[in-house]
Homo-oligomer: A and B are copies of this chain.
Amino acid sequence: MLEDKNIPKTPVATLGEFELIKTITKEFKINEKSTQVGIGDDAAVIQHGKEDTLVSTDLLIEGVHFDLSYMPLKHLGYKAVMVNLSDIYAMNGIATQITFSLAFSNRFPLEAIEELYAGIYLACENYKVDLVGGDTTSSTTGLMLSLTAIGKAPKKEITQRSGAKEGNLVVVTGDLGGAYMGLQVLEREKAVFQVNPQSQPDLSEYSYCIERQLKPEARTDIKALLNELDVKPTSMIDISDGLSSEILHISKASKLGCQIYEDKIPIDPEVGKTCEEFKINNTTAALNGGEDYELLFTIEQNDFEKVKGHPHLSVIGHMTDQASGYNMVTGLGQQIELTAQGWNGIKSEE
């Protein structure tokens, strides 16, 4: 998993910008019929007939959002696209295009940049989106990625954070806390490796957690699933910063309170076991961990029977009036207040 030092290393400076762009984008095809003009002009041209256009953007910085000592570049490219598409899915939209810009220092040879693009390419193929533009520049230090996703949806299907109503049920897809525990495992292995570079750790018992951290998948399937179940979500958000932070966003945008139940929060058994080993409360991992890229949404109470027991969906609580605040009932029956985990803050200049 750690970087292979024996791959060829072509200094990018020998290519020039246009040759570089040609080299790294030659595999990309246009799949999406709304893409009229892709890479290679001042702007991409996208046609969105009667549907609304969705736009979302993310910035990923080395040393802040990712650590290349355990994040292979191909995975980083893939994950960067997932992070971005997840925002379009969180509007109940269909992602159609992305732009991808990067800045990188001379520490990165062409082969490294190609690995990064291989991940972008795979994500575009798997999620049926077109890469339609970007910008490539040098940086004085490290790697920075900037992505913008474009999507579409009929106006009546778009789901904002502000649409929840009192009494609505709170539903989460998949399970939570895995990406955070994967990070703990990788950080620990990095520390071991720094002490003993010959160590060959067996990480197979953490494979789910590590995959959640290194190769997350955005929930492109949920829109179709909800259509199939005939459920229209009233509000929706993706879980990038942890369940607690996200449910507060929905509550505040909808001017409501919320109540969730600790024992309803879906945790994978491997995540639970890893939490025990690391002496981390698994609810804390789910509430504050982030990076799971699951969707959190609200539905009308009448739709309960339609989602009940579905393997991809967990009803974890309901929306209350604003005065009741933001609460979780613990496994022991105590009510505690939910707070957004603090922002990581501004990094010191090195």
Identify the A interface with B (CB < 8 A): 11-13, 16-18, 36-37, 40-50, 52-59, 61-65, 86-88, 90-91, 93, 97, 99, 101-108, 132-135, 137-142, 144, 146, 148-151, 155, 158, 160-162, 236-238, 253, 340, 342-350
Given the known interface contacts A138-B346, A140-B347, A142-B140, the answer about A42 and B105 at a Cβ–Cβ threshold of 8 Å is no
Contact A11 B148 (CB under 8 A): no
Q: Is the interface of A mostly helix, strand, loop or mixed?
A: mixed
A347 touches which of B17, B37, B105, B238 (Cβ 8 Å): B105
Contact B348 A90 (CB under 8 A): no
A346 touches which of B12, B93, B346 (Cβ 8 Å): B12
Distance A138 CA – B160 CA, assembled complex (angstroms): 27
Contact B99 A64 (CB under 8 A): no
- Give the Cβ gap from A105 to chain B, nearest Cβ, in Å: 4
Contact A348 B105 (CB under 8 A): yes
- Give the Cβ gap from A258 to chain B, nearest Cβ, in Å: 17
Given the known interface contacts A140-B64, A155-B47, A346-B12, the answer about A133 and B57 at a Cβ–Cβ threshold of 8 Å is yes
Contact B349 A141 (CB under 8 A): yes
